[in-house]
Amino acid sequence: MAEQPAIEPMHQFLIHKLVQGPVFQIGGVNFDMSITNSVASMLVGAALIVVFFLTTARGSIVPNRAQAVVEALYNIVDRILVTPIIGHHGRPYIPYLFTLFMVIAVLNLMGVVLAFGNLAGQSWTFTVTSQLAVTATLAVLTFFSVFILGFIKHGPKFLTLFAPSGMPPALLVFMVPIEMLSYFVRPITLAMRLFGNMLGGHVVMSLFGSFVVALGIVALSGGVATLALIPSVLSFAMIVALTGLELVVAILQAFVFTALATVYLNEVVNFGHGH
């Protein structure tokens, strides 16, 4: 029997160049402008979002099905997140939060829908949000945008966020560093949550896909080995179930990321008082 190839569930996350681009140096740092599978996936995701809204956002009083879908997505951010959490003062920030939600949701869904390419051993599919560099960029961009907005709106007074009201001065020496640590760890938790969920789900799907193929080949040997077809079929059923679960997780993680960004914005917009 021919030797079976090793199962490599992490192979699907490797970044490789598709188009060689210019490489230049700035301040001793190399910048490679090549198009990788990660960059290509992000470009495709951005194009899908643009085409989706160009073809559906008609602004009709009586919406068709496509426009109804767009409005439903917008209402997730507007009526479920921004209005209940921030209030009417949060409306200027809906465009950014809605864009954040759509970008993460589309990239997540692309990783799930196109995952069959990885299961078949192809390298032209890629899950962008399984890369910590991507999720960390989104998290840091969101966090520091909120942090800078806090200083723009409230000035140095914004630093009192790290000093709980009513706290005795003697305890502030201990509480302020703890509050600052818990505050500045937010981008790490934002990035790790999205990265971990997408990475873990795809690794499990890849493992079960390998079981389907490996056990199916064993079953072809005949005899008692035919019984291997049973776990092969069960593994395939698990892939189907996991795909459905991953579709839910893809949307849920986009919602959670946007919800946390909304909560952070609320601390700035409604600084020192409720809404």
Q: Residue 157: which residues within 8 A CB-CB, separation 6 or more?
A: 271
Query: E-strand spans in the chain?
Result: 17-19, 23-26, 29-32, 35-36
pLDDT of 113: 83
51 neighbors 169 (Cβ within 8 angstroms) = no
Half-sphere exposure of 26 (CA within 13 A, CB side): 4
Burial grade of 236 (CB within 10 A; 0-12, 13-18, 19 or more): middle
pLDDT of 83: 93
pLDDT of 120: 52
pLDDT of 273: 62
CA dist., res. 43 & res. 47, Å (int): 6
pLDDT of 123: 56
- Residue closest to 114 by CA, chosen among 162, 45, 50: 45
- Residue closest to 119 by CA, chosen among 2, 246, 250, 236: 236
pLDDT of 274: 46
The letter for the amino acid at 258 is: T
- Centre a 10 Å sphere on the Cβ of residue 140 and count the other Cβ atoms it contains: 15
- CA angle, 223 then 239 then 251, to 5°: 180
Q: Residue 191: which residues within 8 A CB-CB, separation 6 or more?
A: 132, 135, 136, 138, 139, 140
The letter for the amino acid at 198 is: M
Block means of pLDDT (10 residues each) for the chain, 275 residues, are 55 80 83 85 92 80 79 92 92 94 94 67 73 94 94 88 78 86 92 91 82 82 81 87 90 95 93 60
